[in-house]
Structure 1
Amino acid sequence: MKRLTLTAILAVALLSGCSSTEEVVPDVPPSELYATAQEALQSGSWTKAIERLETLDSRYPFGAYSEQVQLDLIYAYYKNDDLALGEATIDRFNRLNPVHEKTDWVMYMRGLTHMAQDRSFMHDLFSVDRHDRDPVPARTAFRDFKRLLDRFPNSQYAADAKARMIFLKNRLADYELATADFYVRREAWVAAVNRCQQIQRLYPDTEAARKSLDLMLTAYEALGLEEPIANTKKLIALNPS
């Protein structure tokens, strides 16, 4: 958490006027600068788009393009994987525009940004699923999408947000399952049972919930608890893998 906080502070400092590169952007009218930024966005030249948009933001913070520049920056930062900068820009936009016609999109982008922060280096590089990594960004993304659905149930982004919440729920359940498995391997039987029960309570409709029954049975058998053993076997029979 400390590392993320420092990153966020750095992002705010960068947003206050420092460009993401050392290139000097020509001193041209804002309309021309914005047009070149749009061309870069359309072509997927995220770094160039960010240069132009950051320059517009610093030179004309209250200009005609101010709100749209911030919205474009949110998108460009996300596409360029500048996630801390994107999160800081979202916070800034919401602070300056508490009521805006594109608030649902901004909430959706917050969820996407936090979801992207959940990616692991090992997964991106080697396609290795490290579901035991810190799930804080995934939990935050889940809350972001839930807030979007609660506030804007008819948003055009609602369907995708629901699908992403299902994915995130399974991601969080898998993390809890990995933790329960860790306890079983360490023979921390009570901790394993508690974690398995938590999975079944919070994520009952996931594959992890079904798998947690096997771990819970192992723990109960190690503890010699006959009635819980019998009950768990019944649950396993009712929920075959």
Structure 2
Amino acid sequence: MFRSKLSVLPVWAVLCASALLVGCSSTKEDKTANWSPNKIYTEAKDEADSGAYDKAVPLYEKLEGRAAGTPLAQQAQLDKAYAQFKAGDKPAAIATIDRFMKLHPASPAVDYALYLKGVVNFNDDLGMFASLTRQDLAERDQKAAKESFLAFKELVTRFPASRYTPDARQRMNYIVNSLAQYEVHVARYYYQRGAYLAAINRAQLALADYREVPALEEALYIMVKSYDALGMPQLRDDAQRVLTSNYPKSEFLAKGFRTKDDPWWKVW
């Protein structure tokens, strides 16, 4: 009996067709398909306001595409960066901010973008801008602090009248103090391990690079102690004269090094 070649499908073809049908049926429905850009933004903002930043981010991403070329899309980018930051994905937040500034260099929101970039790099739940932790910024990696400073510096230089500039200046002051204290922290580390020349060199670096910051008092004290340990009385006395001249009420000469329970930023 004649049998048509088309009357029977090979088994593999049936299986492939079934897989395609299953795949189509399991495709996740896009609930935003018929939403207006304004509705997407409202939903994203509601998610962010409730702390669901992981849900807000994909909504902001959809909005970027739906409202491309509009101010709303720019707003979505910045809000997405903030949501990424709050969700703990700092690298993604920085990448989003950098992309925003590259695509929209003339945007009126560039000052906020710079401020946010500074905050993302700055924020470590430390120091005067957070709860009283016992580990200060000076004891951590300084790369982020330096990048934060550069972002804030660009902000205050380009946008001196920005609403974000006053806070940026305060944070810059804190960062400068922390960077100076970092050098002193290393100098103290060397001193406590008997590496007195290394301690002196690091303390001198802090004195050469920074001006009028609290950390310099301890830098001079480390030099006094290190020169004394090396049996160099003339240099020790010179360092002590500079210390007492600049800090006549210095507690280091009376009490020695601060304890771990007395963070350096408490002098503020």
Q: Which residue of 2 aligns with 1:85?
A: 92
- How far apart in 2 are the matches of 1:208 and 1:126? 19
Larger Rg: 2
Shift of 1:44: 3.9
| Aligned length, in residue pairs | 215
Give 2:173's match in structure 1, choosing from 153, 159, 166: 166
2:140 paired with 1:133: yes
- How far apart in 2 are the matches of 1:23 and 1:215? 66
Kept in 1: contact 2:196–2:226 (CA 8 A): yes
- Letter of the structure 1 residue corresponding to residue 83 of structure 2: A
Q: CA RMSD in A?
A: 2.5
2:101 paired with 1:94: yes
* TM-score normalised by structure 1 residue count: 0.80
Give 2:42's match in structure 1, choosing from 32, 35, 49: 35
Secondary structure of the corresponding residue to residue 76 of structure 2: helix
Deviations 1:145-171 (A, max 9, x none): 111111111111111001111211222
Kept in 1: contact 2:125–2:131 (CA 8 A): no
* TM-score normalised by structure 2 residue count: 0.72
Aligned residues: percent identity?
A: 33
Distance 1:147 1:125, change over 3 A: closer
2:196 paired with 1:189: yes
> Runs of 4+ in structure 1 displaced over 6 angstroms?
none
Q: Which residue of 2 aligns with 1:225?
A: 232
Q: Which residue of 2 aligns with 1:18?
A: none
2:214 paired with 1:207: yes
- Letter of the structure 2 residue corresponding to residue 109 of structure 1: L
Structure of higher RCO (CA pairs closer than 8 Å, 6+ residues apart)? 1
Kept in 2: contact 1:108–1:144 (CA 8 A): yes
Deviations 1:109-152 (A, max 9, x none): 11001112x558xxx99933153221111111112111111111
- How far apart in 2 are the matches of 1:147 and 1:23? 44
Alignment of 1:91-130 (within 5 A): 91-116=98-123, 118=124, 127-130=133-136
**Structure 1: segments with no counterpart, 5+ residues:** 1-21
Kept in 2: contact 1:142–1:165 (CA 8 A): yes
Shift of 1:24: 5.6
- How far apart in 1 are the matches of 2:235 and 2:228? 9
Kept in 2: contact 1:25–1:52 (CA 8 A): no
**Structure 2: segments with no counterpart, 5+ residues:** 1-27, 251-268
Give 1:179's match in structure 2, choosing from 161, 186, 190: 186
Distance 1:136 1:216, change over 3 A: same
